[in-house]
Amino acid sequence: MPPTFPLPRLTSLSHGGGCGCKIAPGVLADLLRRSAAANSFPGLLVGTETSDDAAVYQLNETQAVIATTDFFMPIVDDPFEFGRIAATNALSDVYAMGGTPILALAILGMPIKVLAPETIREILRGGEAVCAEAGIPIAGGHSIDSVEPIYGLAALGLVHPQRLRRNCDAQVNDALILGKPLGVGILSAALKRDRLAGAQYQALIDTATCLNRAGPDLAALPGVHAMTDVTGFGLLGHLLEMCRGARFGARIQMRSIPVLGGVLDLAADGIVTGASTRNWASYGDEVRLPAQLRGAPQALLCDPQTSGGLLVACAPDAADAVLGIFSRHGCTQAAQIGRMTQAPPAVMVDP
């Protein structure tokens, strides 16, 4: 079993955990529909138009700044690991754009009268540990007294404008490669129900705290056309964003998708997140899933991934190089899961 910690359990203080807290994609799209456009700023290379992972603003011919923020409520009860996971997840947006982080600011909301100061310090220490691993400082931040515990980062990075990789530039016949296995959301649901084995808990921690540092090396490959990271909207949701941006379809194979051990068995036993159901409802008719993949496989494909893997669209002859880069950066379960197609924006899933 996972280790125990002093009460109250962090996960008991939040209505959702990790990237499962995100507003469902359909609801978010409706909320943002009338937002003011930012395309009148010529230096803005990436804004909100394609639901990309971060904003990017060009500074000069060789530098663009990447700006992003990400925060959420606890996905685990260990405060140090919660801090690590939240920080890893926030920095992932910089890596997904092909950039290198340069500094971060902490975002902290805590129920001060409920949690011990030592617990809050451990959350902060976990975030600091990950930023130290990434080679950047946490240079400040902001804190509030909150009903539910919240932690995350605002992160800044740099990228050469020519090495910027957006989520909308995939090409027909591009190979689709996923950097990390799916299932973190389902494992977190099992943790809250005391149904998680010790080895599965360690797999959750190891996956969610593995920095996506492959991003800049992947962006340096001419054959890599598009990147994003798979987080709260699930694999299908983030792949749909890639399809909509490129105005092409995608076809993936369920059998090729890397999965954390025991996850499908847990999903078949009804242990899933509420966010996976909301995600599925948001996809509409843009996903074609055969009947035999309903149930546990569907829940996995919609599972919100906290600090999930990079999803790469690359030329077929670059696929081996992409897998090699992932492996060198510790993402040893990276796998090719499908390809982009000439079809209209939609995802077709084969068994």
From the first residue on, what is the mean pLDDT of each consecutive set of 10 residues in the chain (351 residues)?
A: 79 69 64 64 91 96 98 95 98 98 98 96 98 98 96 98 98 98 96 92 97 98 97 96 97 98 97 93 93 97 96 98 98 98 97 97
Q: Are 195 and 271 in contact (CB under 8 A)?
A: yes
User: What is the reported pLDDT for 237?
Assistant: 96
Active site residues: 19
**Structural domains of the chain sorted by starting position, each given as residue range(s) with its CATH number in brackets:** 10-163 (3.30.1330.10), 175-350 (3.90.650.10)
Q: How far is CA 333 from CA 20, 44, 285, 323, 328, in A?
A: 23, 35, 30, 9, 11
H or E element at residue 254: none
User: What is the reported pLDDT for 10?
Assistant: 92
Distance CA 195, CA 77 (A): 14
User: What is the reported pLDDT for 38?
Assistant: 58
Complete DSSP assignment for 123-191? HHHHHHHHHHHHT--EEEEEEEE-SS-EEEEEEEEEE-GGG---SS---TT-EEEESS-B-HHHHHHHH
Q: Are 46 and 68 in contact (CB under 8 A)?
A: no
Q: How far is CA 283 from CA 196, 215, 280, 302, 323, in A?
A: 29, 27, 5, 10, 29
User: What is the reported pLDDT for 157?
Assistant: 98
What's the one-letter identity of residue 228?
A: T
Q: Are 288 and 346 in contact (CB under 8 A)?
A: yes
Q: Read off the tokens for 345.
A: 């924006």
User: What is the reported pLDDT for 56?
Assistant: 98
Distance CA 104, CA 135 (A): 11
- pTM for this model (two decimals): 0.94
